Amino acid sequence: MATTLYDLTIPVFVRGLTALSGLLDKGAAYAAEQGIDPATLTGAQLIADMKPLTAQVQFACDTAKGTVTRLGELEPVAMPDDEQTFAQLQARIAKTIALLEAVPRETIDGREDATVVLKIPGGEIPFTGRSHVQTFSLPNFYFHLTITYALLRQAGVPVGKMDFLGGV
């Protein structure tokens, strides 16, 4: 059986978001153990012109939900980008996972060659369903997951490759 577009999106995003949740759990525990203000971690940046950890989590969630709503021609689900705490970020991840898990397989499968348009501030980028997932969505999703991992690791949080991968 061939791998379907659904298989390349929903389970991959859910697994990645679950791993992201685990990374945040470790970050919150580390802050508590070390007596660090959790805002120091949630506000951490790799460099001044990059967004903080909170935004990295928001962008990962937005990539996952935006991908499936564009692919499935579903109504976009707005989430305000106001999370500041580990608990608020966890709630956003849980809400995103619930949204993903509610998408029926038949909404995504068969859309490999459909036109998918990504609207950005500077215009629009046309894709096929397949190219949107393979060349934009998955790389973008993993970029933000990786930056979150790097920010926590840089701060001393004891996370490793298996935490990033979400266990095997």
Cα angle 146-148-152, degrees, rounded to a multiple of 5: 115
Residue-range domain boundaries for the chain: 5-74+82-158
Longest CA span, the chain: 52
pLDDT reading at 65 higher than 70: yes
Q: Does residue 121 sit in helix, strand or coil? A: coil
CA distance to 17, 64, 65, 92, 139, per residue, from 99 (Å): 12, 10, 7, 11, 21
The overall average pLDDT reported for the chain is 95
The token duo for 63 is 């990539």
Q: How long, in residues, is the chain?
A: 168
Q: What is the DSSP letter of 76?
A: P
Q: pLDDT at position 1, please?
A: 60
Q: Are strands 115-120 and 123-128 parallel, antiparallel or unpaired?
A: antiparallel
With contact defined as beta carbons under 8 Å apart, do 27 and 41 qualify?
yes
The CATH number of 5-74+82-158 is 1.20.120.450
Report which secondary-structure segment, H or E, holds 119.
strand 115-120
| pLDDT tier at 96, thresholds 50, 70, 90 | very high
pLDDT reading at 166 higher than 90: no
Average pLDDT, stretch 75-103?
A: 96
pLDDT tens, position by position, 5-23: 999 999 999 999 999 999 9
pLDDT tens, position by position, 109-133: 999 999 999 988 999 999 999 999 9
